[in-house]
Structure 1
Amino acid sequence: MNTSANGEYYQAPASERFSIQQELDRIEEIVLESPRVPLSGKTMVSEDELLDQLDVVRVNLPAAVQESVQIVQQREEILMEAEQYAQEIITSAEKQAAAILNDMAIVRQAESQAAQLRAQTEQECAALRGQTLSEIEQLQTQARKEWEDTRARTVGEAKTIQEDADTYADQVLENMERQFMEMLHILRNGRQQIQGGQSLDTETTAPPQAPINPTTGTARPATRREAMPVRGLPERPPLQRNPGARS
């Protein structure tokens, strides 16, 4: 609100909107521009001009205050909206942070479980590897012992078979030798009868020579059968002439 030339108040246009600061500055100018009383420190102010300016302030002050209040309210609303928006952002950020932390906790838990599972698997593999190596070593030891036992048993059986075969062969050779000696004795007696014309006493015939062991090459004791006397060949009957033959 401003004053007209006749002292009446009118509504200032928007371009001339009231400013309390400007009006106060105007009052200050009136005081400072008024003539001063020498040696008194006082100023002679035009009462009408000062009152008019105060009326301008008084009339326009409610509107200015109301506008200021509206500005303050708008500011508070803006601040409230900004605070609400900021709170929403903070709440959303906290939710996102909580979700991220939850995801991170899940990831850490999964990583921890994976590490535990990996360690458990490695431990089980190491134990299984050790058990397998121990079983393999036991099997090798057992197989080696069984092989040695089988070899010793086989060698023993082969030795026994060889000894039995040697004994059997010795018995066979002994029997053959005895039979050959008997035959040789019979042949010798037959030759003696043929060559010397002597009759052999079958009861007092000289015993044969001691048989020879073919294995050692030395004489061995005669068996009971070899020590028995051998009957000689029967004497050849004398030739008889035919009575009807020529004398």
Structure 2
Amino acid sequence: MFLAGGLAAVTVALLVFGVVRARPPADPLPDHDGYLDRWSALHGGWRPTGVFPVGWFRVTYALAVRPARRGLHPHVVTGLGLALSAAVPLLGWAGGGWAMAAVPVLICCGLADSVDGAVAVMSGTASRFGAVLDSLSDRLGELLFLLALVAMGAPLALAVAAGVVGYLLEYVRARAAAVGMAGLGVVTVFERPIRIIVIAFAIFFAGAAQLAVHNGLPGVIAGTGTAFWLLLSLAGLGQILRAARSDLSER
């Protein structure tokens, strides 16, 4: 209860701080195409293609318009997303119906992770430090998601392995970009939205199993979700390494 109360206090404080410090931008906000042009310029010219990526960008643009128009700083949105992430292991530890309630929280975490970047791009407040802060928030959030599965019975060693490989995936991506890999390098099979979907399914069904009083089954489900995270992280790491080798060997 103390942790939940502290989390609620941090969330309220961030909202109040964001509203008080909000400064509407001087220039008009770009339309959707203009937003994509700005985003693409900041990401090595890569532009989203395919039904899901394009649809996701439309949703995040629509959600970011109002906070960007009001002048809400993207760091505040990042902080809110991390505060929501901290609620996930608390709900997982509570189990049952509480764990199942973590699913909408996870959806909000995923949206906040995209909306903060959209606000930064639209309002012209995108910065290198903001990119670092956003990446740090993502990695801490994913650690909290895996902790939720441990709280529901997943083996700790398996969760540690999944977390390490997931971190390696993003570390290799960042290092490859730092030494000259163009754009995003490659969109892997285990990008942020898929990670949230995997965790959401594992927590939901483990919570449902707890409500049904199936002894041992919640832990099996949580462990399976963690193993799936590990396997997809390994596949994504392999994709990044292949893309980096191909791109950087030509330079």
TM-score, normalization: structure 1? 0.18
Higher helix share: 2
Larger radius of gyration, structure 1 or 2? 1
Flag the structure with more relative contact order, 1 or 2, with Cα contacts below 8 A and sequence separation at least 6. Answer: 2
